[in-house]
Structure 1
């Protein structure tokens, strides 16, 4: 019996893809003896999430993120390994399990296109058999939190992408799930909409103690919501640990923000990222940051100096640049 909300051990998904060579003879031969090759979408992935934890699940396109979330939500059957979510085996698709989870995919519509969102919400109430009082309270609370009170009576097809995404998330959470699988929930949205959805997810997590797995290409989502990240590449876990630890382990450089008393060329001290008058941003090797800072202080009159970590998306790019067959790292 696991105390984890989500426990994954050796999770693997292998697809058998037909291989066909060009030409009539090869086509006829394939009718008798079909050649297939194995594609490992997810390979020996293991991790656990505590109840109420929000974890960023990061990786480039094709890394295996969506495949993993589909196995955790029971949409795909694993080729190997063990999966337990809230004590259930997801692939069994038990009603008691499905009532406690939700999967939101930023590139998929679940609402009825020609109906107002309110009608789709009623359909969700019927599907999940939500008590009427609870449904109305939750629905009205979510509508207020998302600030969509004037939109819920419009046909979904008349809403903007951001407005539709708000409705999708409300609909997906009406049954108050305890585990949220969020696959690119802010995809294609403007900054204001992204911020609103992040705030909603954080608030839902606080109020209901829900466990959240979040994939996103927007690092602002990850930084705002997640203390822990799991990085996956070519179906394998490259890193599992604190977001801050990811920076410590993979950031090869630091950025120095310098304000000089008099403008000067600081190119000999590092890579000049920007220079506006007396304000200069330098990129320097991480190991050299202290020594270079000391030299600058000795040689120039500085009115301000800051040492910053690189943007997290730069760090993630650095992770992907490492060899994917390195042992998985934790921090």
Structure 2
């Protein structure tokens, strides 16, 4: 569905010189700096995948999305999406994609969402019979019927965002781009949107690309994650592998029936390298950096050596992992 190879985008930025003299010189001779917003990135996406493109502000995500949607022309490299080269065949290409930018609206402000949907159906030349059935499904599953006839300007942010998603899907695209679709929304609206997108992917095999800073969106929807930093890809793989590579491991808190020291637990574990800290006189926290290998041994050894009242396992959450990624320079890791 998506093929990207050595994709690049450079911008020339005017370097303003200081002072009045510098401003006068800029009138006649300007200095420019070339910035690589996207630096030779490559990845492939199969039909029906939901994947996240994440990174810090300025990492190159939005520039990449704009090239993939045909808004920007690449400086170099090649790409093919659903059989089209976006910037060369944009008119035909846009008929097969849907796009939602969280900060921009495609609805007419003074019209109702339903009237906007009807206009968009004419723009995309959607068949009436099939279009009516599809629109009815969108209205029902996104739960927008109570306000679909109100002017867009009177809708709340959550109501408008659900209508924006419906508008992007009016022509039943094969590829959906979502740029920060849940920014500023409350928990209930976010969950409704996630449930809808998951069901859409399952029933229509729609390929969905999500860019977000909301880690809960990634955990709820995506198995695959692509991470950008300074215009480059630093990770391309499964969410599980992302946790393994940048996570701090697994922590286990043992609650004992009688006083047990860190030294006693360390002696029982032997050669396994773990970080141990005492929570109190009756509990010890064990952190394993190689959790998949050490966890079975740690559990079985401690349970056999001491009287254990309770065991609590704690994994590094994805939000902490993303912070680790942003603060670490790494090489590209591909899922293959």
Q: What does residue 326 of structure 2 align with?
A: 320
Per the alignment, do residues 282 and 149 of structure 1 end up closer, same or farther by CA in structure 2, a change over 3 Å counting?
Answer: farther
In 1, Cα distance between equivalents of 2:89 and 2:68: 10
Q: Find out whether 1:63 has 2:59 as its counterpart.
A: yes
Contact 1:100 / 1:177 at 8 angstroms: preserved in 2? yes
Q: TM-score, normalised by structure 2?
A: 0.88
1:136 corresponds to which of 129, 132, 136: 132
The residue number in structure 1 matching 2:84 is 88
Decide which moves more: 286-295 or 138-147: 286-295
Instruction: Give the alignment partner of residue 174 of structure 2, picking from 150, 154, 178.
Output: 178
Q: Give ranges in structure 1 of 5+ residues lacking alignment.
A: none
- Superimposed CA distance per residue, residues 60-97 of structure 1 (whole angstroms, 9 cap, x where no aligned partner): 11111111111000011111111110111101243321
Please name the residue that 2:34 is paired with.
38
Q: Per the alignment, in what secondary structure is the counterpart of residue 304 of structure 1?
A: strand
The alignment's C-alpha RMSD in Å is 2.5
- Does structure 2 retain, via aligned residues, the 8 Å contact 1:18–1:36? yes
Residue of 305, 309, 317 corresponding to 2:311: 305
- Give the drift of 1:151: 0.9
Q: 1:261 to 1:204 in 2, by over 3 A?
A: same
For residues 264 and 177 of structure 1, the distance between their equivalents in structure 2, rounded to whole angstroms, comes to: 61
Q: CA deviation at 1:257?
A: 4.2
The question of 1:16 aligning with 2:22 is answered no
Structure 1 runs (4+) greater than 6 angstroms displaced: 263-268
Residues 180-217 of structure 1, C-alpha deviations (whole Å, 9 max, x = no match): 11111111111111111111111111222111111111
Whether 1:196 aligns to 2:154 is no
Q: Does 1:286 align with 2:298?
A: no
2:210 corresponds in structure 1 to: 214
**Does residue 22 of structure 2 align to residue 26 of structure 1?**
yes
Distance 1:257 1:161, change over 3 A: farther
How many residues align structurally?
322
Which structure 2 segments of 5+ residues have no match? 267-274
Distance 1:136 1:259, change over 3 A: farther
**1:185–1:111 CA distance, 2 compared to 1 (3 A):** same
Partner residue in 2 for 1:239: 235
In 2, are the aligned partners of 1:73 and 1:102 still within 8 Å (CA)? no
Aligned residue number for residue 44 of structure 2: 48
1:330 aligns with 2:326: no
Structure whose CA Rg is larger: 2
For each residue in 1:83-129, what CA deviation from the matched residue of structure 2 results, as whole angstroms up to 9, or x when unmatched? 11011110124332111001111121111112111011011111101
SS at match of 1:8: strand
Conserved 8 A contact 1:10-1:82: yes
Separation in 2, partners of 1:223, 1:329: 20
Normalization by structure 1: what TM-score?
Answer: 0.89
- Aligned-pair CA distance for 1:306: 4.1
SS of alignment partner, residue 15 of structure 1:
strand
Deviations 1:215-249 (A, max 9, x none): 11122211121111111111110000111111111
Query: Are the equivalent residues in 2 in contact too, given 1:253–1:283 (CA < 8 A)?
Result: no
SS at match of 2:92: helix
Does structure 2 conserve the Cα–Cα contact (< 8 Å) formed by 1:185 and 1:216?
Answer: yes
